[in-house]
């Protein structure tokens, strides 16, 4: 069996020509089918008039609209969540000691107008043989990456570590030649510390002494090669653009650069996000094959109550929120602690207009799950009301991702 360093997207040349031809043909059929966009959610229809997603069949399921249904106490927690001992789970995301650890897994997401199929990992590996899957983004995308890897590990005989195309982490499921990798990037764009030059310059003349230089038209090196390598790719960004503890507007502001020069007058972080999305979406569009599948995941909501993460905020609820409670926490009109998710989505939806990206809309379904964060698990100094317990909510994100991919496959064959 080949080592991960020699694993390619197609079978080795020693495979007989005819068998190789059949595999190649099946791959072409698969990825041509994956290029068909699904229907958009109501939020997308409102904010993305003319987006390519709206051209798909109206019979496609809107997985983002639904409700959380609790399984009866008599039902055992399904095998879908039996990966709790998976070594890839970051200590702070393992919620085995949380008071509602077992109870939070009993909730299943039920779309209003269709059924969300259970994720069958063995079926997935067989169907997506010879496929490279990449997650590009911040630690919330790592949360989702770990969920998928741990689910697939349950049925795979041989798994090898491999960090392809600059990935932070990655695994190849050798028998099926399926690679799943995570490329860490906080802003998508390249950034680093900036200090005033002794010789002075435009920023210095405005009184800037230090901060962070963000080159909105240059992708961070960790994922620069990812679009040329992966067949399916899932992006996210947003949390770090609203991170005053990191990018303090006075002590360490974001300084936006374009074409190697500072943007003057200096722009806000929101404007910097818009510029970055524009450049990064264009970068990916130009470099990925036309039949590759590109998702942009919507923002993952936080659930801090009583203050932000560094102001005594907490998330100790043990049941999902009601619709009324969701609006209380996330309404843009109320400008609360957690409005970041919907704000980021407005920027994201606008940036994706006319692109070939599909939107993986997980925001509203996640807004209900104030009970599914690690909170104080792992002895944290501050409660973690941003990331998600594993097993947990991000499994449902992957359920939707896999269901969308499966429906693309099925539509092609029908």
In tens, the pLDDT along 75-130 reads 766 666 789 899 999 889 999 889 998 888 899 999 998 999 889 999 999 999 99
The residue-averaged pLDDT of 398-404 equals: 95
DSSP state string for 320-339 = PPPHHHHHHHH-GGGT-TTT
CA 32 to chain centre: 23
pLDDT value of position 23: 41
354 assigned to some structural domain:
yes
> Are 172 and 190 in contact, with CB atoms under 8 Å apart?
no
The Cα 86–Cα 106 span in angstroms is 20
Angle at 237 between CA 236 and CA 240, to 5 degrees: 150
Share of the chain above pLDDT 70, in %: 82
What pLDDT does 178 receive?
98
Quote the pTM value. 0.85
How far apart CA 211 and CA 246 sit, in angstroms, is 10
Residue 70 counted as domain residue: yes
Structure tokens at 163: 């960090």
- Per-residue confidence band for 328, with pLDDT thresholds at 50, 70 and 90: confident
The answer to whether position 213 is within a domain reads no
- Name the more confident of 159 and 378: 159
Give the pLDDT confidence of 176-206 residue by residue, as tens digits: 999 999 999 999 999 999 999 988 899 999 9
In a domain, 257, yes or no: no
CB distance 136 to 223 below 8 Å: yes
Mean pLDDT of the chain: 84
**Torsion 249-253-257-262 (CA) sign:** positive
Q: Please list the alpha-helical segments (H only) found in 64-173.
A: 121-127, 139-153
pLDDT number for residue 12: 40
- Average pLDDT over every residue of 13-34: 42
* SS3 per residue for 208-275: CCEEEEEEEEEECCCCCCHHHHCCEEEECCCHHHHCCCCCCCCCCCEEEEECCEECCCCCCHHHHHHH
In a domain, 223, yes or no: no
Of the candidates 247, 140, 234, 143, the residue with the CA atom closest to the CA atom of residue 191: 247
Quick: pLDDT tens for 212-229.
999 999 999 999 999 999
The answer to whether residue 18 sits within a structural domain is: yes
Among the residue ranges 1-15, 264-278, 386-400, the one predicted with the least confidence is 1-15
- Coil, helix or strand for 240? helix
Instruction: Identify whether 162 is part of a domain.
Output: yes
Output the CA angle 101-105-111, nearest 5 degrees.
150
What's the confidence (pLDDT) of residue 77?
66
User: In the prediction, which pLDDT does 39 show?
Assistant: 39
| pLDDT above 60 for 243 | yes
Provide the edge-to-edge strand list for the sheet that holds 189-195.
189-195, 210-219, 254-258, 261-262
Cβ neighbours for 14, distance < 8 A, ≥ 6 positions apart: none
Within a domain: residue 197?
no
Domains contained in the chain, number: 1
Dist CA 269 CA 254 (whole Å): 7
Task: Give residue for tokens 């040349």.
Answer: 13
The single residue listed with the structure tokens 């909170």 is 375
Q: DSSP of 337-384, one letter per residue?
A: TTTHHHHHHHHHHHHTTTSSPEEE--HHHHHT-TTSS-BTTTT-SS-B
DSSP state of 117: P
402 lies in which domain range?
4-186+228-237+283-413
Structure confidence at residue 335 as a pLDDT band (50, 70, 90)? low
């Amino acid at each position: 069996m080949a080592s991960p360093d020699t694993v390619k997207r197609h079978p080795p040349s020693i495979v007989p020509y005819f068998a190789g031809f059949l595999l190649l043909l099946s791959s072409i059929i698969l990825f041509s089918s994956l290029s068909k966009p699904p229907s958009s959610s109501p939020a997308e229809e409102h904010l993305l008039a003319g987006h390519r997603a709206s051209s798909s069949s109206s019979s496609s399921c809107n997985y983002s609209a639904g409700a959380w249904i609790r399984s009866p106490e008599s039902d055992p927690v399904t095998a879908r969540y039996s990966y709790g001992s998976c070594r890839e789970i970051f200590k702070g995301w393992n919620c085995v000691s949380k008071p509602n650890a077992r109870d939070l897994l009993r909730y299943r997401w039920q779309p209003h107008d269709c059924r969300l199929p259970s994720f069958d990992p063995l079926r997935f590996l067989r169907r997506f043989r010879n496929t490279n899957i990449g997650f590009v983004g911040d630690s919330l995308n790592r949360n989702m990456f770990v969920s998928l890897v741990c689910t697939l590990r349950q049925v795979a005989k041989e798994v090898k570590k491999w960090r392809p195309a600059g990935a932070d982490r990655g695994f190849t499921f050798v028998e099926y030649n399926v690679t799943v990798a995570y490329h860490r990037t906080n802003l998508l764009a390249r950034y680093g510390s900036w200090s005033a030059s002794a010789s002075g310059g435009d920023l210095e003349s405005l009184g800037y002494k230090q901060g962070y230089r963000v080159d909105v038209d240059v992708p961070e090196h960790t994922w620069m090669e990812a679009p040329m390598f992966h067949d399916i790719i899932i992006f996210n960004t947003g949390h770090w653009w609203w991170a005053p503890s990191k990018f303090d507007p006075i002590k360490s502001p974001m300084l936006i650069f374009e074409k190697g020069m500072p943007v003057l007058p200096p722009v806000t972080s929101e404007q910097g996000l818009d510029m970055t999305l524009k450049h990064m979406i264009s970068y990916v569009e130009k470099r990925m094959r036309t039949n590759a599948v590109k998702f942009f995941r919507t923002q993952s909501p936080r659930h801090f109550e009583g203050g932000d993460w560094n102001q005594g905020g907490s998330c100790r609820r043990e049941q999902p929120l009601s619709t009324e409670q969701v609006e209380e926490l996330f309404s843009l009109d109320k400008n609360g602690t957690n409005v970041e998710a919907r704000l980021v989505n407005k920027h994201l939806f606008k940036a994706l207009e006319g692109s070939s990206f599909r939107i993986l809309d997980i925001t509203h379904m996640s807004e209900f799950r104030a009970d599914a964060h690690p909170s104080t698990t792992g002895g944290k100094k501050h409660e973690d009301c941003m990331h998600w317990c594993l097993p947990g909510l991000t499994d449902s994100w992957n359920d939707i991702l896999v269901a969308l991919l499966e429906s693309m496959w099925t539509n092609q064959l029908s």
